[in-house]
Amino acid sequence: MDTTIKNSNLKSEEYFINMGPQHPATHGVLRLLLTIDGEIIKKVEPDLGYIHRSIEKMCERDSYQQIVHLTDRMDYLSSHINNEAVCLTVENALQIEVPERVKVIRTIIGELTRIASHCLWWGVMGMDVGALTTYFYGFRDREMINDIFEETCGARLTMNYNLPGGLMFDIHPNFVKRTKDFIAHFKTKLSEYDTLLTGNIIFQKRMKGVGILTKEDAISYGASGPVGRGSGYSCDVRKYHPYSALDKVTFNESLKTDGDSFARYQVRIQEMWESMAIIEQLIDNIPEGDYQTATNAVIKLPKGEFYQKVETARGELGVYIVSTGTKNPYRLKFRSPGFSNLSLLNHIAVGGKIGDLVATMATLDLVIPDIDR
């Protein structure tokens, strides 16, 4: 204390607080070292590694079919899309053409996954800014999607529905009907989301002009997904490098140029509408045919390097496989969207209040196992 009060000149000092690894706003085991001056954030240092499981190293040990199951545990909210990324890489390397039916089903389930992920994000986003009721609304709608998944894949979160060459099994007979029911239901509920939260004056005051990320910074930090698109950086992999059945559908890339938290929020809400549009275009004419192509029991990739990227709910997920021609990859690298998006946090949160940091972090939609792997 004797250093703070000297010659009756009151002087304040910066101090540190540890936000996490157990903290309600970090949504997992993320630890943020904050340097704070009163309420104002001076520096944010993310400290990672609390849930590091060496997934990339484990991949070097496993066969390609086994790798697919590991990817569920990265970004568990877009587990299907992660599976798809690995399968697409392996299929491209083997130059297997999967049946049309598989492509369409993969796309539909991928978009459902995106909606489910955004529902959860919307719920916890509201909770982070203090509106606790949103959480239950988001979960109510996500539950319907999970029920659809449960019926078809047998699992609700880590679905393991893909495998190199196709799908584990065919869709459940109820799948089409229930998906349509969900779309009809969700169209009414998504407008409700806007009434409850988006239009709220307190919410808008909390979000607008906060956590501003310019387009240049978004590109140089490697931001992708809704975070990049909220800053006007057109980076939708589904648009530029369409995979599965995404080349057959028309949809708009949701793009906002403001770059603040509210823009990122709007991009995600818009994406849910677009995902529903994609599903609606595909759901009525799922082509007949096989749900698998025959692959060897032991998949050996040709010697070389293979890369495939997909758009998860969080952004661009890249899978980079270096193969020496054996049944295991020599090296496998995931380019996860969360890691790049988290690296922005210090850049956009400094100068704001503690409340701003929490709100900004919520719009980055971080999933910690995706960052740590």
Partner 1 sequence: MNISLNITKTFTELLSGFLPESTANIGAMVIIALIYLAIFSVAGLFLVLIERKVAAWFQLRLGPNRVGPWGLLQTMADALKLVSKELTGTVKADKFLYNLAPYFVIVSSLMALSVFPFTQNFQAFDINIGLFFLIAISSIGVIGILLGGWASNNKFALIGAMRSGVQTISYEISVGLSLLTMVLITGSLQLSEIVEVQKNGWLIVQGHIPAIFAFMIYMIAGTAETNRAPFDMVEAESELGAGFHTEYSGMKFAYFFLAEFINMFIIAAIAATVFFGGWLSPFGITDSIPWLGVFWFLAKTMTLVFLMMWFRWTFPRLRVDQLLTLEWKYLLPLNLLNIILMALIVWLNLTIQF
> Of 126, 166, 225, 369, which lies in the binding site for partner 1, with binding defined by CB under 8 A?
126
> Of 132, 250, 285, 288, which lies in the binding site for partner 1, with binding defined by CB under 8 A?
132
Q: Which stretch binds partner 1 (CB under 8 A): 91-99, 109-117, 195-203, 217-225?
A: 195-203
Residues in binding contact with partner 1, number by CB under 8 A: 30
CA atoms within 13 A on the CB side of 152: 31
Q: Which is nearer to partner 1, 16 or 169 (CB)?
A: 16
Q: Write down the least CB distance from residue 260 to partner 1, Å.
A: 14
Q: Which stretch binds partner 1 (CB under 8 A): 59-67, 261-269, 304-312, 354-362?
A: 354-362
Q: How far apart are CA 321 and CA 340, in angstroms?
A: 20
Confirm or reject binding of residue 131 to partner 1 (CB under 8 A).
yes
- Contact (Cβ atoms closer than 8 angstroms) between residue 316 and residue 224: yes
**Within 10 Å of residue 182's Cβ, how many Cβ atoms?**
20
Q: Which stretch binds partner 1 (CB under 8 A): 72-80, 85-93, 193-201, 287-295?
A: 193-201
Confirm or reject binding of residue 140 to partner 1 (CB under 8 A).
yes
The site map against partner 1 for 37-76 (x = CB under 8 A) is --x-------------------------------------
Q: Which stretch binds partner 1 (CB under 8 A): 185-193, 293-301, 324-332, 352-360?
A: 352-360
- For residue 21, say if its preceding peptide bond is cis, omega within 30 degrees of 0: yes
Per DSSP, 194 falls in state I
Confirm or reject binding of residue 5 to partner 1 (CB under 8 A).
no
> Of 105, 148, 197, 348, which lies in the binding site for partner 1, with binding defined by CB under 8 A?
197
Confirm or reject binding of residue 279 to partner 1 (CB under 8 A).
no
Measured between its terminal Cα atoms, the distance across the chain in Å is 43
> Of 206, 229, 264, 309, which lies in the binding site for partner 1, with binding defined by CB under 8 A?
206
Q: Which stretch binds partner 1 (CB under 8 A): 41-49, 75-83, 259-267, 349-357?
A: 349-357
- Contact (Cβ atoms closer than 8 angstroms) between residue 42 and residue 35: yes
Q: Write down the least CB distance from residue 48 to partner 1, Å.
A: 21
Confirm or reject binding of residue 354 to partner 1 (CB under 8 A).
yes
Confirm or reject binding of residue 353 to partner 1 (CB under 8 A).
yes
Confirm or reject binding of residue 127 to partner 1 (CB under 8 A).
yes
Q: Which is nearer to partner 1, 61 or 140 (CB)?
A: 140
Q: What is the DSSP string of 69-121?
A: HHHTTTSGGGHHHHHHHHHHHHHHHHT----HHHHHHHHHHHHHHHHHHHHHH
Q: 7 CB contacts (<8 Å, ≥6 apart)? A: none
CA atoms within 13 A on the CB side of 25: 18
- Contact (Cβ atoms closer than 8 angstroms) between residue 210 and residue 353: no
Q: Which is nearer to partner 1, 237 or 348 (CB)?
A: 348
- Contact (Cβ atoms closer than 8 angstroms) between residue 175 and residue 151: yes
Q: Which is nearer to partner 1, 36 or 109 (CB)?
A: 36
Confirm or reject binding of residue 269 to partner 1 (CB under 8 A).
no
Q: Write down the least CB distance from residue 208 to partner 1, Å.
A: 12
Confirm or reject binding of residue 301 to partner 1 (CB under 8 A).
no
Q: Phi/psi at 325 (nearest 5 deg)?
A: 95, 5
Q: For residue 157, which of 275, 84, 52, 72 has the smallest C-alpha distance?
A: 72
Q: What is the DSSP string of 266-335?
A: HHHHHHHHHHHHHHHHHHTTPPPS-SB----SS--PPSEEEEEEEE-SSSEEEEEEEE-SSSS-SEEEEE
> Of 66, 133, 191, 257, which lies in the binding site for partner 1, with binding defined by CB under 8 A?
133
Chain residues that interact with partner 1, rule: CB under 8 A: 15, 17, 23-25, 39, 126-133, 135-137, 140, 196-197, 200, 202-203, 205-206, 353-356, 358
